[in-house]
Structure 1
Amino acid sequence: MNITHSVEKIEKLLGIQGSADGDNSPGQLTGPLIERVATEFNKLQFYVTRSKGHPLVYKVKPRIATITTTLQYSLEGSFLSGLETGKTGMLRQCLRTYALIDKTHDAEDLFREHVVRPFMEEVINEDFLAQNSNELSAMFKEVLTFVPEKCSVLSNITSGTSGGDIVRGYDFVVNAVFPEIISCLEIRTSNIFAPGNPDIFHKKYTACMQFLDELESQCGSQASVKRLRQHPSYQALMNKWSLPIYFQIRFQDIATRFETALCYGFSNSSGSNGFHLNSTAMMWECLKECWDQEIYLPALLHRFVKLNIQLLSRFKTWLDEVYQEELARKTESDVKQRSSTPDRLRSSPSFDSSARSTSPVPKPTSSSATDSLPQQQPLTTGQTVALMADIDFLYRKIDELFDSNIKPRLAEIGVEITESVKESLMACVTAICDCCPRFWAMVTEDVVKQCSGYLTQVNDIPRLYRRTNKEVPTKPSAYLTGVMKPLSRFCDEHASSLSDQQKREFLSQVFTALAQQFCEVTSEVLVSTKKMEESLRRLKKARGTDKDKEKAGGVTDSDKIRTQIIIDIENFNSQVSKAVVDLLFWVAY
């Protein structure tokens, strides 16, 4: 009975059965009458739900459908009229009625179809972009004018800023404006999502993200922003941007340039970033490039951090390969030199091993070598020093890179593990620095080899005094004048390349090695002289001639040899002391 009574009452209010005067025809329903009908309709729905399955429900179902259609038709007319005239009272009445019959989405769909869509179709299209130099930001700027100009009345009603009662349950920006924008973008300007040109893609993606930020500021509340980000259209928009493809293009570009630089890794850098070699200069540029405003995207932060780590790790691997090649080349060279070079040439003071630092020997051609890659030539001392200087510079610069480029990017998106990221980068740089001692050993060995080439002439001292009747020596040997020349030349050439710490460590290693070698060679000569002296003494004793010599009390040849060695040792110590003083100024310089 309640169902029948409610249906008849609504039909009478709507005039569906037709009144005599026609005052209550469907097209002439006033706001209060619509709300009254909606209240009664709500009761009817309640009764129908409770009586589900009853034969009476099936009997009145066509009449309920007619009531629903008539009510919605009346609501549509009033709502659209209110939108056109801007009458706040009428709109509030309609919105309240839609909410009463649980049809809030119908109102949002009406607004989207009759107000949002015509505006967006006029703005979001290829012609508009062409008229604005394909500037996506110009199109989005125009789109953003819609909410304050066309949606403000509804927003005021649903937020309570208009002064009347708040009509809750609506979000026209999220449920009507935003989906229509995304639909138009996908259908009418689909070319904007193409990732083929990374520079254009970056520019358009950035413009879109800025648009979303500004649209969120128009939502009016954090709850509305949350609904916007959870809307299916939001995720659909994000999926349209092919970020993995964009990153892959950037990755290939950066990695290719870096690998090409490693092929010519020891060429001089043409840049002005403070690095000496092409390899380290290019690595630094690639590291920074990942965080450039025109390349970096917040959504790809983790990938760019990983790329930084990969670049540093690749450089470490390259250093290992270079060292192993040099080690193999040196071993092969030493074997050939021992088998083909006379001893007198290797010990001659005219043999200048510093030629390696100025005129590198080309690598022998190999039948298995590919023509596309350059032949790796032996490292020169200058190249090795430049490499060590660059690695030291890199260690100091990585902090600058993190603080000025990476850390702000992490803060932008709220990443809290900044120290972990920094530790990962520093671990890679530390691994690179751990390669330095091996390369420094090569430099030290090269310089020591040049210096010690003169020290081998200590072996000539016995020959100069044995059975030559020369006077007792009072001056150092001539070979000592050249001992420190290679070291001084090295210091002059590389004064500006090395840090103070590198200079101190290098000098300590060179002086220690030279002192040890000089000690060894003089000890060998003294031991040999002693043995020769004892052998001669035994021979003279056997001949009975030693007593006459002892009576004479003259200086023996062995005494002259020992005297010369003592003078040479004192002179060597003096040169080292002087060199230390001079080179301390070099360190300070």
Structure 2
Amino acid sequence: MFISSSISVITSGFPHRAPRSASVFFSDPYDSHPLWFKPSFFPSPGFDSESFISELRTFVAFDTLRYELRSHLASLNRELVDLINRDYADFVNLSAKLVDIDSTVVRMRAPHLDLREKINGFRGSVEDAISGVRSELRQRSNAADAGEVLELLLDAFHGVSKVEKLIKVLPSTPFDSMGRSCMSDENPKQQDGTAMRETQSTLLERIACEMNRLKFYMAHAQVSIVHLLHHNLPFIEKMEKRIQSASVLLDASLGHCFIDGLNNSDTSVLYNCLRAYAATNNTKNAEEIFHTTIVAPFTHKIIARETSAGAAGTSGDIKHFIAKDCKMLLEVSSTEKSGLHVFNFLANSILKEVLSAIQKVKPGAFSPGRPTEFLKNYKASLDFLAYLEGRVTDLTSFSELDRMAYQLSHVTCAFCEGYCPSSSAVTNFRAEAIYVEFMKQWNVGVYFSLRFQEIAGSLDSALTSASLDSDSDKKSSPNLIIRQSVTLLECLRSCWKEDILVFCAADKFLRLTFQHLSRYCNWVLSAVNARKSNGGSLSPGCEWAVSATAEDFVYVIHDVNCLLSEVRGDYVEHISHYLSPCSSEVLDMVRKSMLQGAESLQNVLALLNKTIIEVIVDKSVEHLRQLKGITTTLMMNKPLPVRHSPYAVGLLRPLKAFLEGDKVTHYLTHETREELLLCTLTEITKQYYELAAKHVSEEKIKETLLQKHRQNAQKRASAASCVSDHNETGTDKMCMQLFLDLQEYGRNISVFGLNPEDIPSYCSPLAMRYTCG
């Protein structure tokens, strides 16, 4: 058949297994596969051909695997052909049986179309019913909202009427329009006036509560009406006018009652008035009344009569005024569980008036242009704020800086007689806008900049001096010698003086301290480098180092040691004492930083010692230039030397003169002198050996060349025998002379109390006598 022939053509490209013989007829069938070949895995959804082949290739040859796959493909093709041939007749007759299929489809579609029309009609009726129900529910909701709004409006109307009636009762109480008590002859007793004030304040508190409730009703009713009608009602506008008029009358009456309570120091009246202000959310009005009525007149009177020099007296008068005339109101407003914590008379009344009075009367008090007066005023203001917060009871045992540090520290402390009875009250006080504005007036950054220029300028002026001057004034630092070191110590101490330091800028002054130490160390390093460069590219202030002697560097070493002792000792304790209010972690960090700054000074000492050694070695090496004359002195016709050269005696004279000088014995410690002695001798001996070895090597080369020249010049073989092997050469004489010189050099070393053999480089020149050849 066609399909069969087509498949046979397709599969003809694959090799087929040869027909089996009769001997293997009863063996495995033709389509059998090895055990490792599982065709059942192929139809699975998770089958992966690449992983299948990679797994089989580990133990099956590629040709075998390909053969089995092609055999399986051939068997599948045969099965496909068999399936097609089996049902081929039905497949061919399929098109002949499909007759009038369109009419059949139409008949089957008719019931479905009828059912769809019925469903659409039912859906429309249901949607109409749902929309009707929703409309009715919306109308019911609007009616309920309108009823609620109407109820709110009725409550508001009754509330306005009640407030107006209560306000009409107020004039019957004994207060005139100015809020002063108007006692009649019929009520002459003080308790009658007190009772009337209390009645008045109680009534005002009640009116305030009603007014608060009225505003609540009006706010909700207005929002609902605008939501329903999208516009306001004339009734609402008329009610708002009545409420506004009642609010004006209430504020006036409440203000008069509050002032009368302040003038008469009536605690009950103040409680009632403050609760009334809190109920109407009008705390700013109460704070402003207390500010303008009580605080402002007294503050203006006190500050106006004081000069800038009397700032401390002004602060004391204000403190006395607060303790006398303001304490009662402050205690009333800070009563626990009274609901009066919303008032902050400290900030918005007292501190506000103090700031305003200073800005008007003493505008220069905030100017950092005069640092001394600025710091004095700043400390006075901090003391005043600490008094308001009430964080310290007795500070008489504290210095001014310690008191300031303690006041500014935000650690939890025991609150005492003050007006902030808790840490939360202090936090609220500091969070007020007037407190932030008051602290912004003190530009500590500019103050530090001026102090920075003042302190750092003096040090920079001293370090840029071209000479190494000694300090004539020994009062400030009796142990230091040169003026640069004295200026550094004065600058370091100035950073932490009581009349300079501002605690809130302590980190900046600490950084300035490190900058001073670094600047001094760089000055010393520049001086050392300037001496090495012999005057080339000098930095300002390092000119003295070009011609400096070893004694000059002794002064610098002495001062560096003194500075190290000061920084690591009293100076660190001094800073830690001033920073004692800080946490232990901060103190430990400051101590470690200061010790690291001292390490830079410690590193400078090694360079200074090395510089002194180089200065002495340079002077001693000048005597070694006489080594060049040994060759000329020891001619071939002269005998072997029997005594040392003259230069060997003066080789260590610069070192001896240096160590026996008064400056070294007075300003250097014994350990430093011993270190300089050993290092200097080691360096001199090293250069001595190198120079001697160089001359010996050159002499050997000269003799070798001379001997070759003589041998070439000789024409007879007997002439060579005329030269005796036992004659002493110039090299031998030079080595002998060097040996004698080194013996004298070793005796000179012993004078210093050292064993020459302890110097490693000393043993090498001694061997030259035996290696000269």
Same topology, TM > 0.5: yes
Which residue in the other structure is 1:12 paired with? 165
Q: CA deviation at 1:121?
A: 0.9
Contact 2:624 2:688 (C-alpha < 8 Å) held by counterparts: yes
CA deviation profile, 1:127-172 (whole Å, cap 9, x unmatched)? 3126xxx1312211111112221122223333449xx978553332
Which residue in the other structure is 1:449 paired with? 618
User: In structure 2, how many angstroms separate the alpha carbons of the residues matched to 1:375 and 1:294?
Assistant: 36
Q: CA deviation at 1:73?
A: 2.6
Which residue in the other structure is 2:319 paired with? 144
Q: Which amino acid aligns with 1:190?
A: P
Matched, 1:190 2:363: yes
Matched, 1:44 2:214: yes
Matched, 1:118 2:297: yes
Which of 507, 510, 516 is the equivalent residue of 2:686? 516
TM-score normalised by the chain length of structure 2: 0.60
Contact 1:15 1:25 (C-alpha < 8 Å) held by counterparts: no
User: In structure 2, how many angstroms separate the alpha carbons of the residues matched to 1:47 and 1:530?
Assistant: 121
Name which of structure 1's ranges 135-144 and 306-315 shifts more when overlaid on structure 2.
Answer: 306-315
- Please show how residues 454-469 of structure 1 align to structure 2 within 5 Å: 454-457=623-626, 460=629, 466=635
Contact 1:275 1:390 (C-alpha < 8 Å) held by counterparts: yes
Q: CA deviation at 1:310?
A: 2.7
Note closer, same or farther for the CA distance 1:123–1:507 as it changes in structure 2 (3 Å cut): same
Which of 207, 215, 231 is the equivalent residue of 2:432? 231
Q: Which amino acid aligns with 1:282?
A: T
Larger Rg: 2
User: In structure 1, how many angstroms separate the alpha carbons of the residues matched to 2:697 and 2:269?
Assistant: 119
Name which of structure 1's ranges 410-419 and 51-60 shifts more when overlaid on structure 2.
Answer: 410-419
- What is the aligned-residue identity percentage? 23
Which residue in the other structure is 2:103 paired with? none
Matched, 1:256 2:424: no
Matched, 1:307 2:512: yes
Q: CA deviation at 1:533?
A: 9.1
Which residue in the other structure is 2:377 paired with? 204
User: In structure 1, how many angstroms separate the alpha carbons of the residues matched to 2:579 and 2:302?
Assistant: 36
Which of 648, 656, 665 is the equivalent residue of 1:480? 648
User: In structure 1, how many angstroms separate the alpha carbons of the residues matched to 2:651 and 2:340?
Assistant: 96
Q: Per the alignment, in what secondary structure is the counterpart of residue 547 of structure 2?
A: coil
User: In structure 1, how many angstroms separate the alpha carbons of the residues matched to 2:173 and 2:363?
Assistant: 49
Q: CA deviation at 1:118?
A: 1.1
Unaligned runs of 5+ in 1: 333-362, 364-368, 584-589
Note closer, same or farther for the CA distance 1:192–1:374 as it changes in structure 2 (3 Å cut): farther
Which of 728, 752, 769 is the equivalent residue of 1:579? 752
Which of 113, 137, 156 is the equivalent residue of 1:3? 156
Which of 631, 654, 657 is the equivalent residue of 1:489? 657
Q: Per the alignment, in what secondary structure is the counterpart of residue 48 of structure 1?
A: helix
Note closer, same or farther for the CA distance 1:189–1:404 as it changes in structure 2 (3 Å cut): same
- Please show how residues 98-497 of structure 1 align to structure 2 within 5 Å: 98-125=277-304, 127-129=305-307, 134-160=309-335, 168-217=341-390, 218-219=418-419, 220-264=421-465, 266-272=468-474, 273=477, 274-329=479-534, 378-400=547-569, 403-412=572-581, 414=583, 416-424=585-593, 426-427=595-596, 429-431=598-600, 433-434=602-603, 437-457=606-626, 460=629, 466=635, 473=642, 476-493=644-661, 494-497=664-667
Name which of structure 1's ranges 525-534 and 33-42 shifts more when overlaid on structure 2.
Answer: 525-534
Which residue in the other structure is 1:351 paired with? none
Higher relative contact order (CA 8 A, sep 6+): 1
User: In structure 2, how many angstroms separate the alpha carbons of the residues matched to 1:444 and 1:222?
Assistant: 64
Q: CA deviation at 1:330?
A: 6.4
CA deviation profile, 1:211-266 (whole Å, cap 9, x unmatched)? 22222112232222112211112222222223222222222222221222112252
Name which of structure 1's ranges 194-203 and 403-412 shifts more when overlaid on structure 2.
Answer: 403-412
CA deviation profile, 1:503-556 (whole Å, cap 9, x unmatched)? 343222211122223334555676688789997998999497777x97xxx999
Which residue in the other structure is 1:59 paired with? 238
Q: CA deviation at 1:41?
A: 2.8
Which residue in the other structure is 1:507 paired with? 677
Contact 2:211 2:280 (C-alpha < 8 Å) held by counterparts: yes
TM-score normalised by the chain length of structure 1: 0.77
Matched, 1:92 2:271: yes
Name which of structure 1's ranges 181-190 and 429-438 shifts more when overlaid on structure 2.
Answer: 429-438
Note closer, same or farther for the CA distance 1:250–1:519 as it changes in structure 2 (3 Å cut): same
Which of 259, 269, 294 is the equivalent residue of 1:80? 259
User: In structure 2, how many angstroms separate the alpha carbons of the residues matched to 1:210 and 1:26?
Assistant: 41
User: In structure 2, how many angstroms separate the alpha carbons of the residues matched to 1:536 and 1:178?
Assistant: 106
User: In structure 1, how many angstroms separate the alpha carbons of the residues matched to 2:671 and 2:157?
Assistant: 99
Q: CA deviation at 1:203?
A: 1.8
User: In structure 2, how many angstroms separate the alpha carbons of the residues matched to 1:375 and 1:482?
Assistant: 28
